[in-house]
Amino acid sequence: MSLGRVFFCFVFYHFFKTTHSVANGNNKEKLIVRNFDISAKGKFFSKPGSLLSNQTTKSTKECCFKCVQNKECLSVNTIALDQSRCQCELLNWAGTGFENQLVSKTNSRFMQMQTSCSPNPCQNGGQCTVKDRGTNYTCTCVGRTGRNCEEKCVLFDFESGRLEGWNLTGTAFNNQPTYGDNTLARGKPSANLKGKWFVGTFEDRPSPSHPAAGQQGNGPTGTATSPTFVIRGTKLRFLIGGESNINTERLELLIGGSVVAKATSTQSDHPMTMKSFDVTAYKGKEARVRLVDMSSGSWGLLNVDQIEDSYCSE
Ligand SMILES: *[C@@H]1O[C@H](CO)[C@@H](O)[C@H](O)[C@H]1NC(C)=O
Ligand SMILES: *[C@@H]1O[C@H](CO)[C@@H](O)[C@H](O)[C@H]1NC(C)=O
Ligand SMILES: *[C@@H]1O[C@H](CO)[C@@H](O)[C@H](O)[C@H]1NC(C)=O
Ligand SMILES: [Ca+2]
Ligand SMILES: [Ca+2]
């Protein structure tokens, strides 16, 4: 990504604002400065529908100047023809992710006017495309959402190895999350975790340096309430396993402190399976999930992992 690297073509442009009446001789004159960044050398930008005009200018700078004068223009291709002439293409496109639209050509340059995409406001690998003549932008996000791709769709995957911001009661969740496939390490079926960590209230392996197969057993009970998040999509998905008993082992969705949905494991077993809640009615609302282990008896355990909002795959 070379945006914002080199300011090559500074254009000072006298702009005569003609909204004031000529009669009072009070035309406002503004000095507009436009910087162009070299986005690619030895290559030009080629995207159907982006070419505004094609002309010959004396210099690269003159080409930039033509661009500034054209209200639709956001970038230029210049191709040096000889010492005193260059082919100047005015383009209506600017943004990031242009690399796969470039064509190699000797003595050519693709330069973009500085816009609201430079520097790229889209986070987490999102691509920026300008709109409203460069004064605004839209982000195309990958696995994220929000205006600047700042919001996660994977809400809780426990991959930090800590229950950061979770509110615990009782003792069942004190040693959570669990590192690795600890049920498998105990000679039981795989927990079917995603990544390296999950929450398993029978397990006791709170770090890689704790021995595999460590267990706290069915005895501990308690709850773990997540930090708040905003519901974006139509579904809240999660992996859930352990005892199949909604009264004692469950995952709850809380809105404004009230339980609006709850789920338990499909069968009393360790492997987690994907379940989901339809959350269409709660779009835009703040929510939390609460994990509940209220049993000390046989199969009194809950496994949970990968709690995600479906928004990014809709
Ligand atoms: C632009 O003009 C040049 C001559 O200056 C010409 O060679 C080229 O084919 C033109 N390109 C397009 C896309 O019209
Ligand atoms: C830019 O566009 C967004 C919508 O995509 C809008 O909410 C925002 O107000 C716009 N900003 C400006 C400065 O026009
Ligand atoms: C944690 O939960 C308890 C019990 O519901 C509550 O009293 C307390 O305020 C909560 N703390 C935080 C930081 O949310
Ligand atoms: Ca995980
Ligand atoms: Ca328990």
Distance of CA 28 to the CA centre of its chain: 43
Q: Give φ, ψ of 173 to 5 degrees.
A: -105, 5
Q: Which of 47, 54, 103 to mutate to test the pocket of ligand 1 (most atoms within 8 A of CB)?
A: 54
Ligand 4 center–CA 193 separation, angstroms: 6
Q: Which of 133, 136, 140 to mutate to test the pocket of ligand 2 (most atoms within 8 A of CB)?
A: 136
**Residue 261 pLDDT greater than 80, yes or no:** yes
What pLDDT does 32 receive? 54
Ion ligand 5 contact residues with beta carbon within 5 A: 218, 293, 300
The residue contributing the CA closest to ligand 2 atom 14 is: 136
What pLDDT does 184 receive? 98
Nearest ligand to the C-alpha of residue 135?
Answer: 2
Q: What is the average pLDDT across 3-24?
A: 43
Using pLDDT thresholds of 50, 70 and 90, give the confidence band for residue 280.
very high
Helix (H) or strand (E) holding 255: strand 249-255
Helix (H) or strand (E) holding 185: helix 182-185
Structural tokens at position 16:
């005569």
Using pLDDT thresholds of 50, 70 and 90, give the confidence band for residue 152.
confident
Which amino acid, one-letter code, is at 85? Answer: R
| 239 touches 261 (CB < 8 A) | no
The residue contributing the CA closest to ligand 1 atom 7 is: 87
CA-to-CA distance for 314 and 293, rounded, in angstroms?
32
Q: pLDDT for 220-230, tens place per residue?
A: 999 999 999 99
For the CA of 147, the nearest atom of ligand 2: 5
Q: For the chain, how are helix, strand and coil distributed in percent, rounded to 5?
A: 10, 45, 45
Whether the model clears a pTM of 0.85, i.e. scores above it, the answer is no
Our CA angle for 202, 240, 249, nearest 5°, is: 60
In sequence order, the 6+-apart residues with CB closer than 8 A to the CB of 227 are 164, 165, 166, 288
CA-to-CA distance for 113 and 282, rounded, in angstroms?
42
Q: What is the average pLDDT across 286-303?
A: 98
Q: Which of 85, 87, 107 to mutate to test the pocket of ligand 1 (most atoms within 8 A of CB)?
A: 87
Using pLDDT thresholds of 50, 70 and 90, give the confidence band for residue 18.
very low
Cβ–ligand 2 contact at 267 (below 6 Å): no
Cβ–ligand 2 contact at 56 (below 6 Å): no
CA-to-CA distance for 95 and 12, rounded, in angstroms?
23
The residue contributing the CA closest to ligand 2 atom 6 is: 136
**Residue 28 pLDDT greater than 50, yes or no:** no
Q: What is the average pLDDT across 102-124?
A: 93
The residue contributing the CA closest to ligand 2 atom 4 is: 138
Ligand 5 center–CA 141 separation, angstroms: 40
Helix (H) or strand (E) holding 127: strand 127-131
Structural tokens at position 304:
């949970």
What pLDDT does 114 receive? 86
Using pLDDT thresholds of 50, 70 and 90, give the confidence band for residue 314.
confident
Residues having CB closer than 6 A to ligand 1 are 54, 56, 87
In sequence order, the 6+-apart residues with CB closer than 8 A to the CB of 20 are 26, 27, 28
Using pLDDT thresholds of 50, 70 and 90, give the confidence band for residue 8.
low
